[in-house]
Amino acid sequence: MKKIVKSLPEDFQTPIFVVWHMSSNVRGVLPQVLNRENKIFAAHAYDKEPVRPNRIYVAPPDHHLLIENGMVRVTHGPKENRFRPAIDPLFRSAAYAYENRVIGVILSGGLDDGTAGLWTVKQYGGIAIVQDPRDAEMPSMPESASRSVQVDYSVPVDEIADLLVRVVNEPIKKIKLSKDPQTKKEIEISSGESPLEKGEFKLGKLSPFTCPECHGVLSRLRNEGIIRFRCHTGHAYSVETLLSAISEKIEDSLYNVLRGMDENVILLNHIGDHYAENNDAKLAATYFKKAREVSQRSELVRNLIRQHEQMSTEKIDYVADKSGRNSTVKNGKKQKQLQTKT
């Protein structure tokens, strides 16, 4: 962001809206950092603030940043992709309000927040830009967007500012689009309105999965090749984020089991000590024996935890790609051997 803002002309009129994944308990310093790079004024957005030219609006910590016609919304709606602020609600609301006047840009980042939102930007006639994954410190987000969305530009971060200047000066074609009711409802959910009242269960098909955050039933939403999930309290997940969250929950659950077993061992030994102090050796020995048995079983759970793998589509895709390359090499050797024999 510093590189891009520093390279923009000081009179860049198009307003810029920034979502940066951060912890909810941090003090957001991005506006101050950006104000040292350029005279384009940057600040945390506030609710119902008017949209002005030559401004940078930054989502404040623990709040979604949405856009309505001529106005900014700062809300405490449910998390999307386990983040608040999240990128998808910003892109979705901007596309719904300003259609083909929107330019969505995805920079370096983990997992795939922003992919579904960038797809909406394209559906409403906007322009999709991603940082070249080879140029990104964390390529997951731009790679995900490039796989699922027909992006217009994939460039290194050093070229994005010049690209933005060129694109905003191109003429905008008049288009006639019908507004998607699903997009409208999802924007309203992100703004904090009740998902049940908005007919969340009608947005997609019920799935066998439950929300990792609130354990509500997840509905499966599909936009062409992009699959997402949303629960009746409003939490939303991409496939990548849901897989990651479920993997984490498995480890958490295993540690809960291990904690219970360790407490069992401690208590059994404590009772055994009590009987030993009272010179009841037989009963004490029985409790100590049970404690050893539970301890042995707990070691099985520890081994499960050691072997547990944090799943992600990126990791699985990498394994599949590596396996495919190895297979190609082996097949190539076999083919060469056959040619030699012939």
CA pair distance 217, 214, nearest whole angstrom: 9
pLDDT at 319: 66
Phi, psi of 77 (to 5 degrees): -70, 175
Average pLDDT for 235-246: 92
Q: What is the mean pLDDT of residues 122-149?
A: 96
17-21, 115-119, 179-183, 284-288, range with the lowest pLDDT = 179-183
pTM of this prediction? Answer: 0.82
Going through the chain in order, the beta strands assigned E by DSSP cover: 16-18, 41-44, 49-50, 55-58, 64-68, 71-75, 103-106, 127-131, 153-155, 205-210, 217-223, 226-231, 236-238
Which tens digits make up the pLDDT trace of 261-279?
A: 999 999 999 999 999 999 9
One-letter identity of residue 198: K
Q: How confident is the model at residue 106 (pLDDT cuts 50, 70, 90)?
A: very high
Percent of the chain, pLDDT > 90?
A: 76
Which pLDDT does position 340 carry in this prediction?
Answer: 43
Q: Which residue has the higher pLDDT, 339 or 55?
A: 55
Q: Which of 101-105, 174-178, 223-227, 284-288 has the lowest mean pLDDT?
A: 174-178
Residue 326 pLDDT: 59
Give the lowest-confidence range in 5-19, 140-154, 177-191.
Answer: 177-191
All residues at 6 or more sequence positions from 310 whose CB lies less than 8 Å from its CB, including other chains: 244, 247, 248, 251
Reported confidence tier of residue 333, pLDDT bands at 50, 70, 90: low
* 63: region left, alpha or beta (phi > 0 left; psi from -120 to 50 alpha): beta
- Identify which has the larger pLDDT, 293 or 198: 293
Mean pLDDT score across all residues of the chain: 91
Place 122 in a pLDDT band, splitting at 50, 70 and 90. very high
Judge whether residue 342 has pLDDT over 80. Answer: no
What local confidence, expressed as pLDDT, does residue 143 receive? 95
Q: Which tokens sit at 165?
A: 């200047």
